[in-house]
Amino acid sequence: MTKLSQVDFLVMGAGVAGLRAAVELARHGDVLVVTKESVAESNTHYAQGGIAVAMEGDEDVALHLEDTVNAGDGIVYRPAAEALVSEGPLRVAELIEWGASFDREGDTGAGELLRTREGAHSLPRILHANGDATGAEISRSLAAFAHVHKRIRFAEWTMVTGLVVADGRVIAADLAPAGPLAGDSKPHRINTRSVLIAAGGAGQVYSDTTNPAVATGDGIALAAQAGAELADMEFYQFHPTALSLPGVPRFLISEALRGEGAYLRNDRGERFMERYHPLLELAPRDVVARAIAREGMGASPDSVSGSPSVDSRVVHLDMRHLHSLNIRDRFPGISAFLAQHGLDLARDLIPVRPAAHYLMGGIKTDLAGRTSLPGLYAAGEAACTGVHGANRLASNSLLEGLVFGARAAQSMLADSLPLVPADAPAADHKPLSVNEEALVEDLIANLQASMWAYAGLLRQESTLREGLAAQEACGASLAKLAEQGKSSRRLAEAQAMSRVAHAILHSALARTESRGAHFRNDFPKRDDAQFLKHSIFARGGEAQVLFEAW
């Protein structure tokens, strides 16, 4: 682990937002990028479908803006969406110049960029790389570009375990080893002008998620613990089509398959989306996810009752009619994964079900990445600028990381906060016993299952309250271990997931309407009179939710 005692800028997270910010920051200072595993292991790396960007001039940009705003179901913060779509083309052109290679027509590598379509996009504008490995290519190219920069250092297999606040400003961070050989190595404190949290989402809060194991919401929880406000935490996007095979992780089956013409069929073989939305399989993501859930539960399209614990094993994705498409070339990664389980996209129906995918909410920031806590900045999935409103437009997240990663870095440079040495070292900790580690694993599994059952696609007051009781019990058991001065990577992750779940549950209870990804069985309608607003969690440190218009 890097044992620097100070650095100009500390970036937590090595996905697209963190790496893009690091490149910008390194123009004027020394940067330390801290990541819990290797640089390649981020949510960015697993993004399949692509990056949405309007490269064809003003009209194209205006259409991208309208699609983004429409998908967000009334509460997209328009200035954020304007920044995203208008700065996006420059950021993507820059990325290509730095070595990212997107798929093009022909074999020469010099043809026109290929573009595909996904749900709620009015035209094909999604660039992709190596078929279905867009995130991996963006992550590879940005990391390669950052690695040769002398002012950027990486602390891999390292966790940020705390933010040090003095006189109302973040002045330092505590780092601890996070690798398998971490043992009882000591944490250490590093002074810094400012910290950027770009540590991604928190899909692991749910038992069913497309997110990798590292997505435990650490950055969001640390910010909240240090006193920063969170926003829109009730809006968790459930991807409609994760692989649904017993004992197999919820591997993402990209929306780009539906963009290329795949159908969704229920257990009777019917293309059921015609009963739910005129855009059929390319309807907004929240509509498709709930339709799959309802078909899986055998409920009628407009039913609002039924178990909130959704079981959608009976729904399938069907590409068997797409004879002219070379499916294995277009989707090599997905084809290879399915082949390991005896499935072939060209031949078989693929069982799918929704899974937690993307948090629209997060650490509340302005358009320049500033949080409510001086010295602390956030970008990418960990942040909430309001750009996605209640439902993110497909493939807008990689673009968000590029645009707002660069913006946050520019404001960290502009603010140019002084280095203030923290006056105490990081507190020591004791390792957990084997039994305590096992207890933490049980607590995590229970929390994940209860969040899926009680705060998933379909919610209502009674179940949200059950979820809150389960989360509070989990939080209390974790706190007991922490109070004894115990610490481990899994304990820190469990505390982060519990804190994020707490914010989701409170925010979901407070929004007594249905909008975008947040659906309440007991309030099935949108209520614009009361809720054309963003939720703010923990203003002033209290576990309470306020609503405000942006």
- At 270, give phi and psi (nearest 5°): -85, 145
Find the shortest distance in angstroms from Cβ 454 to ligand SIN: 24
Find the shortest distance in angstroms from Cβ 18 to ligand SIN: 18
Nearest to 120 by CA among 277, 350, 270: 277
- Where on the chain is the footprint of ligand SIN (CB under 6 A)? 47-49, 254-256, 357-358, 394-395, 397
Q: Six-digit token pair at 523?
A: 């309030």
Find the shortest distance in angstroms from Cβ 315 to ligand SIN: 16
Find the shortest distance in angstroms from Cβ 231 to ligand SIN: 20
Query: In 203-307, which residue ranges form alpha helices assigned H by DSSP?
Result: 218-226, 256-259, 285-297
Nearest to 228 by CA among 8, 36, 378, 410: 378
DSSP letter for 274, please. G
Strand order in the sheet with 126-127: 51-52, 126-127, 115-116
Sign of CA dihedral 467, 473, 478, 482: positive
Q: Residues 170, 374: contact at Cβ < 8 Å? A: yes
Find the shortest distance in angstroms from Cβ 229 to ligand SIN: 26
- Based on CB atoms, which residue is closest to ligand SIN, 396 or 498? 396
- Based on CB atoms, which residue is closest to ligand SIN, 327 or 422? 327
Distance CA(468)–CA(347), nearest Å, equals 44
Element (DSSP H or E) covering residue 236: strand 236-243
The residue sitting closest to ligand SIN, measured at its beta carbon, is 49
285 is catalytic: yes
- Based on CB atoms, which residue is closest to ligand SIN, 134 or 521? 134
Task: Let me know the angle formed at the C-alpha of 277 by 274 and 281, rounded to the nearest 5 degrees.
Answer: 70
Nearest to 343 by CA among 323, 310, 325, 320: 320
Distance CA(251)–CA(355), nearest Å, equals 9
- Based on CB atoms, which residue is closest to ligand SIN, 125 or 357? 357
Look at phi and psi of residue 275 and say left if phi exceeds 0, alpha if psi is from -120 to 50, else beta: alpha
Find the shortest distance in angstroms from Cβ 135 to ligand SIN: 9
Question: Which position among 115, 265, 285, 353 bears the catalytic label?
Answer: 285
- Based on CB atoms, which residue is closest to ligand SIN, 335 or 395? 395
Interacting residues of 106 by C-beta distance below 8 A, sequence separation 6+: none
Sign of CA dihedral 16, 18, 22, 24: positive
Interacting residues of 112 by C-beta distance below 8 A, sequence separation 6+: 104, 105
Q: Residues 314, 307: contact at Cβ < 8 Å? A: no
Find the shortest distance in angstroms from Cβ 350 to ligand SIN: 14
- Based on CB atoms, which residue is closest to ligand SIN, 15 or 49? 49
- Based on CB atoms, which residue is closest to ligand SIN, 103 or 255? 255
- Based on CB atoms, which residue is closest to ligand SIN, 226 or 517? 517
- Strand 6-12, strand 31-34: pairing: parallel
The beta strand positions in 15-119, using DSSP E, are 31-34, 51-52, 115-116
Q: Which residues are catalytic?
A: 285
